[in-house]
Structure 1
Amino acid sequence: MWRLCDLPNRIRVSPGFCLLTAWFALDNGWELLGTVLGAAAVHELGHCLVLWLLSAPINGLKIGIFGAELAADRRGLSYPGELAAVLAGPGANLLCAALLTLLGGTRWAVFSGANLVLCAFNLLPVRPLDGGRALYLLTAWAAGPAEGEKAVRWAGGGASLILAASLVWVMVRTGGSLWLLPAAAGLLAAAGRELWLGGLKNS
């Protein structure tokens, strides 16, 4: 696991992430940005806790325009163990939202909502989101890695196309919301990558 003195060298933040967060804050306010980042921190802590319990070393954290990704040594994990680590992030968001709803009522409604949205978004069957990784692991566990790869490529490609089209529709209908543009572009890129790779695999 990390030593405290190693943390600055283990965390990588992309310039694109800094620009996107600044853009989001200017458009939606710094308070909402803090709420979203807080929900993201809960998410990553969920992953870290399960990886720590499974004795899987964490080597670093990359924070980019499409979210955060933990670099961990998963070679010693079984399919169930890796699946637990993958689903721990959305699970932490769901648990946090449930606890805040029970304890705080409407006081923490926005933070609870941010956790629920982040949980749902990360469960989409799109790589590198947790849902895409979970779909691969479940299918590979049941039918082998080749079938897992095929399932996540086609499911991820289709879901990415639908979501990208939905985000573009929202931007057109609202007459703005341009901070959704990076997400739409990323989903289109994911769709192209997955469907193109799927087509090559079957050719």
Structure 2
Amino acid sequence: MKKGALFIGSYSSIKVFIHWTFWIIIGWIFMMHFQMGHGWTEGIQGALFILVLFACVVLHEFGHALMAKKYGIPTRDITLYPIGGVASLNKMPDKPAQELAVALAGPAVNFVIAGVLYIFLYVNDQLLPISEIDHMTGGNFWFNIMAANVILAVFNLIPAFPMDGGRVLRALLAFTMDKLKATIIAARVGQFLAIAFVFLGFFTNFWLVFIGLFIYLGAGAEEVHESAKSALTGYTARDILIRQYTRLLPGETLERTVQLLQNTQEQGFVVAENNQVQGVLTRNELIKGLSVYGNTSPVSNVMRKDFVIVAPDMPLQEVYEKLLSNNFSLAPVLDDGQLIGIVNAKGINEVVMVKKALAQKDGIAKT
């Protein structure tokens, strides 16, 4: 389960969650109706409109997720927030054409939904002028849903990275330049538009402020992520392999683990028996385990069994993606099924910092 989110179902092994903050928008809709002098009926109709619209948002995210799955990229889950949905793909495709397809798949779903509703309304002679769009009333329900899907698709295609349009922009740029440079340009455009959203939000719709902040922070994070990946080019797991590390037995107590953390610089431990990895224990699992089971509990009760396995010749970029997407700080390295060491996030970060420092030195030397 996902912390702070309600699980509502799954499709194609992709779980769907509603974050607790999503209900804020439902309460806001009710409040708006009462401020406008409406009753409970209008309030419920307004909330139903939002729920149907967000069902379309879920389908939008499944468009991304299923297209990514076509290219062998799994999606951990889809989560609904007040400002929209997020499909947590393990990574975006490296090939520009594939990223372009994944980015366009979401808006394409909204256009399809709008097209189906258009045909339905046309056949039933229920099409209305654009001026009749009114999201806050119960009338013209399906016409409003159709219009909302068009608006949703068009809005998402604004080139504000990391929105869909921003990813489309990066993919198009990546056809003619390396991905890092394309990411930097797309991120700068995204941050500029994010500032514009925040500014407009104060005078029009305050949700634009939240969307702008989300875009600004997301663009910066994506740039940092891509910069780190670029710095890891040419390295493998063997380059940061740690051969001297502490192994825990499944039966050792959490109290013993606490002592090891206090006396060493290690960020986590591999749990193994007879040279076979049983799980991974990080600080997060240790703290949770202490609060739930107490310090006499064996580590087997709290270790993570869904650990990432790394081969010694695995590209460090791939190791970085695996650790990040699965929220791990370390991973065991196996060679022909035998545990030969570990790699951790600290080692990856050190490679990134060294590469960046050398790049800065070369830049200064050239000037």
TM category, shorter: 0.7 to 0.9
Percent identity of paired positions between Structure 1 and Structure 2: 20
More strand, by proportion: 2
1:59 match:
76
Stretch of structure 1 that moved more, 117-126 or 141-150: 141-150
Which amino acid in structure 2 is aligned with residue 47 of structure 1? H
2:197 pairs with 1:166: no
Residues 54, 192 of structure 1: CA spacing in aligned structure 2 closer, same or farther, 3 A cutoff?
Answer: closer
1:151 match:
185
1:112 match:
146
SS for the counterpart of 1:142 is: coil
How far apart are residue 117 of structure 1 and its match? Answer: 1.0
Q: Is the 8 A contact 1:25 1:33 kept in 2?
A: no
1:82 match:
99
2:163 pairs with 1:129: yes
Query: TM-score if structure 2 supplies the norm length?
Result: 0.44
1:39 match:
56
2:209 match:
184
Residues 158, 76 of structure 1: CA spacing in aligned structure 2 closer, same or farther, 3 A cutoff?
Answer: closer
2:19 pairs with 1:14: yes
Residues 3, 188 of structure 1: CA spacing in aligned structure 2 closer, same or farther, 3 A cutoff?
Answer: closer
Residues 56, 109 of structure 1: CA spacing in aligned structure 2 closer, same or farther, 3 A cutoff?
Answer: same
More helix, by proportion: 1
- Max radius of gyration: which structure? 2
Unaligned 5+ runs, structure 2 = 1-8, 34-45, 128-139, 228-367
How far apart are residue 91 of structure 1 and its match? Answer: 0.9
1:100 match:
117
Distance 1:64 1:30 in 2: 15
Distance 1:94 1:3 in 2: 23
Unaligned 5+ runs, structure 1 = 171-179
How far apart are residue 71 of structure 1 and its match? Answer: 1.9
Distance 2:181 2:154 in 1: 25
Higher RCO structure, 1 or 2 (CA under 8 Å, sep 6+): 1
Query: TM-score if structure 1 supplies the norm length?
Result: 0.74
Q: Is the 8 A contact 1:50 1:84 kept in 2?
A: yes
SS for the counterpart of 1:69 is: strand
Number of aligned positions between the proteins: 189
Which amino acid in structure 1 is aligned with residue 184 of structure 2? K
Which amino acid in structure 2 is aligned with residue 72 of structure 1? L
Residues 82, 152 of structure 1: CA spacing in aligned structure 2 closer, same or farther, 3 A cutoff?
Answer: same
Distance 2:159 2:28 in 1: 27
Distance 1:192 1:56 in 2: 24
Which amino acid in structure 1 is aligned with residue 153 of structure 2? C
2:262 match:
none
Deviations 1:11-51 (A, max 9, x none): 44332222233323442521321332132133123223323
Distance 2:169 2:218 in 1: 17
2:77 pairs with 1:72: no
SS for the counterpart of 1:70 is: strand
Distance 2:110 2:180 in 1: 31
Which amino acid in structure 1 is aligned with residue 212 of structure 2? L
RMSD of Structure 2 on Structure 1 (CA): 3.4
Residues 58, 150 of structure 1: CA spacing in aligned structure 2 closer, same or farther, 3 A cutoff?
Answer: closer
Q: Is the 8 A contact 1:74 1:82 kept in 2?
A: no
Distance 1:76 1:188 in 2: 25
SS for the counterpart of 1:112 is: helix
Residues 155, 53 of structure 1: CA spacing in aligned structure 2 closer, same or farther, 3 A cutoff?
Answer: same
2:176 match:
142
